[in-house]
Structure 1
Amino acid sequence: MRYFIDLTLAQMGFWITWALIPIVVEIIPSLISAMRLLRQSKHLKQLEAPAKLPFISIIVPVYNSEATLFSCLQSINDSTYPNRNMQIVLADNQSTDDSFGAYARAQNHFNLNMQLMRTAQGKAKALNGAIYQCIGTYVINIDSDGVLEKHALMNMVLQFENDIDLAALTGTILTQRSQIKRTKSRWLRFLQKTEYFEYAQAFLSGRTIESNKNELFTMSGAFSAFRKSTLVDTFMYNTDTVGEDTDMTFQVRQRLKQKVMLCANAIFYIEPLASLEQLYKQRQRWMRVSWKFLRNTCTSTPRWAISSTIFWCAA
């Protein structure tokens, strides 16, 4: 009888411990950050618009984006940032579908200053090739499979213009709620809603904490921005790693000793997960990117940042 009591207590201790880990590592920091956000939102400093808005360059890496590229470019066109003040460079890295057709349709529909260039395969190579074509004060990267919230570009530029020490910004990534509502499968819709709140927690909580301490681990590959003057001082995007966004973040923050922040009100919407298999492959890729980068370069990274990054690195 004593054996079964000890075994029961041991099992209870094991499961209680594992129940406490997410509470301590994720839930409590999230609640603290949420309270900070609420307090900060009541005392937000109004950002001043410059007398003349700067010219910006937007890089859109394209790879088999026939189905999404038109919507992405439409979101840029519908932005509150004036079209005359932006240059759009589409970097097609060896697409095999009709991405060019989507680009051609956008040319006929939108009054945008766009150019399409062919690059070597790989997102990092596409970004590096496009950077040399950019003439804007700020260089903004967005993925071709998502859409910008209409105020996102303006909010990002205003944050740069009001902080001369700011070198780079990452936007907030959220899934498209309208697509979640249209999902017919209850199980998949539940999974997509969970994913939405996960992204909200990761960016509006986790990365807010990192940003306030100037310890942001990685900028989002889907939506990030740089001062052009900072970007040309880096070694450009690392083409030998799948974690090029994390590598670039550390180049700016550690090698150049410059400030990298989150722009919480610059939102980029991506498509929600389509299946459990896609979720598995996504998280497997994120884990591989995180561990590989941490093993190679991040011996001095704070432990709390490492634990957070394991889940949110590639978001």
Structure 2
Amino acid sequence: MSIPYVGLFEVLILGYFTILNSFYAVAVYVATRELSRHIRRRQSVALSELLSREFYKPVSILVPAYGEEETIRASVDSFLALHYPEFEVIVINDGSQDSTLQVLKDAYDLEPVERNPSRVLKTRPVLGAYRSRRVPNLLVVDKENGGKADALNVGLTYATFPLFCAVDADSLLDAEALLRLARRFIENDRLLAAGGSVRIMNGSHMRDGRVSELRLPGTWVERVQIVEYARAFLAGRTTFSSLGLLLIISGAFGLFRRADVMEAGGFLDGTVGEDMELVLRLHRHMREQKRPYDVEFDMDPVCWTQCPDSFSLLRVQRDRWQRGLWEALWAHRKMWFNPRYGRIGVVALPYFLLFEALAPIIEVFSYAFVIVLALTGQLDLRFLALFLLVALLYGAVVSVTALSIELFMRVHFRRPVDRIALLLTALGENFGFRQWHAWVRFLAIFRLGRRRGQWGSMTRRKIRARGF
């Protein structure tokens, strides 16, 4: 059997992987320059100076929670201990079936309060609101189950401050994280939304709700996610932000102007990618109104989160992420290649469409194409060598470089064995894990529209003083 247009397919495949990995190579270079600037900038501005300024913007921290009985206490403690002049923490219990609400009641001595929201978005009914007798800036809202976006919208209606920070209930914030991210809104009046770095805390030692010592997790699947996060946040988002092309602010840690988000309609209910969809809608809203604005990423503030510790849980998470990506892009397909939306329409969205949304289709096809060529005796060894070079080895080198920068300039794993293990993980992820990941994302495309608006399922580990 002879496959037609073999040469054309070979050129297209090699060109695709060359462009993709070359972008990441350029991104690593840009990230290195930005990181150097951030280090100098951080050293030049003392934390005490930021705290003493009188023109800070108060922040409402929104913590949507569903089935978080194991982690909610430690997370809320970390939010309440943040170094910030004025903030409130609003936990929204989205009809949890476990004892999440009871844990909060016991831990913070909650009592029912009457509090009318300042402005109502369409949400599922609220069952009750509770104020802590001991912590005056903590509010807990109990509501019927409606999904994460619905819970965030309830939090928006109860929030009272001009900025709101959306965080995950299984995450911890560095004590200075909110202060450093909110500083961006003081320095830039056009800033609409900003996101910080998200790092994985699996395996690390904890003390008083803080990551006291970074330790490598025990399983390979957890380690490979550390590599992924380093590459995505250090290289990818830093570069997109510096070029004014940022489309994603992580749902685990993002800061927004509340009035503009309310004006745009809040979070979209019924989607599994509410974080990216909101940022896209804000881009669209502001450009259609011809209002100047910025959306930025700051690598300095850090949020610590748990990651899946098994391939089965990781498969569920990545399935949701891929479906969320497609849903967000499709909801705003009007912006694709549309000059009316500037660089977002003609650069950012085409990139995400071709190199993110369609990537698993192209990758699965490429691997299948190579296998078919081999089985039919048409595999050119020169093509195979180039394919391995540009698709796998090139990607591995970029991953190792990005991780090396992260390890030696920002993240401090004290034990040399941890650093070596991570570098070996970065080298090896392209051989096996990448192909599995592409297949999971490929299958997710056939499940678009299913289980819309539902919470992700992941077994939480209780955060302990000596690690978890």
**Smaller-chain TM-score bracket:** 0.7 to 0.9
**Partner in structure 2 of residue 104 of structure 1:** 105
Structure 2 gap segments, 5+ residues each: 110-131, 205-213, 288-292, 338-344, 360-468
Comparing 229-238 with 32-41, which one deviates more in the overlay? Answer: 32-41
Inter-partner Cα distance in structure 2 for 1:137 and 1:13 = 52
Contact 1:73 1:106 in 2 (8 A): no
Return the match for 1:170 from 192, 195, 204.
195
**Partner in structure 2 of residue 195 of structure 1:** 225
Return the match for 1:141 from 143, 147, 166.
166
Structure 1 gap segments, 5+ residues each: none
Contact 2:202 2:217 in 1 (8 A): no
CA deviation profile, 1:225-282 (whole Å, cap 9, x unmatched):
1122322221111113222212210222221243111122121111132101112121
What is the deviation of 1:308? 5.5
Q: 1:13 to 1:168 in 2, by over 3 A?
A: closer
Which residue identity is paired with 2:299?
A: A
CA deviation profile, 1:73-94 (whole Å, cap 9, x unmatched):
1111222224xx1111111111
What is the deviation of 1:104? 2.3
Return the match for 1:32 from 29, 32, 37.
29
Return the match for 1:289 from 324, 336, 341.
324
Inter-partner Cα distance in structure 1 for 2:216 and 2:260 = 42
Q: 1:226 to 1:42 in 2, by over 3 A?
A: closer
Return the match for 1:127 from 152, 161, 181.
152
CA deviation profile, 1:133-180 (whole Å, cap 9, x unmatched):
111121111110111111111111111111111111112111015448
Which residue identity is paired with 2:97?
A: T
**Partner in structure 1 of residue 93 of structure 2:** 92
Which residue identity is paired with 1:295?
A: W
Determine what percentage of the aligned residue pairs are the same residue: 22
**Partner in structure 1 of residue 54 of structure 2:** 51
Inter-partner Cα distance in structure 1 for 2:256 and 2:149 = 15
Cα root mean square deviation, aligned: 3.0
Contact 2:38 2:300 in 1 (8 A): no
Inter-partner Cα distance in structure 2 for 1:90 and 1:175 = 22
Inter-partner Cα distance in structure 1 for 2:11 and 2:160 = 60
Match of 2:227, SS state, is helix
Match of 1:81, SS state, is coil
Return the match for 1:115 from 130, 139, 154.
139
What is the deviation of 1:35? 2.8
Inter-partner Cα distance in structure 2 for 1:148 and 1:279 = 23
Structure possessing the higher radius of gyration over alpha carbons:
2
**Partner in structure 2 of residue 248 of structure 1:** 278
CA deviation profile, 1:93-142 (whole Å, cap 9, x unmatched):
11010101321244159745111112342111111111111111211111
Inter-partner Cα distance in structure 1 for 2:172 and 2:248 = 21
CA deviation profile, 1:192-250 (whole Å, cap 9, x unmatched):
22211211211121111111122211211111111223222211111132222122102
- The two structures have a TM-score, normalised by structure 1, of 0.83
Inter-partner Cα distance in structure 1 for 2:354 and 2:201 = 27
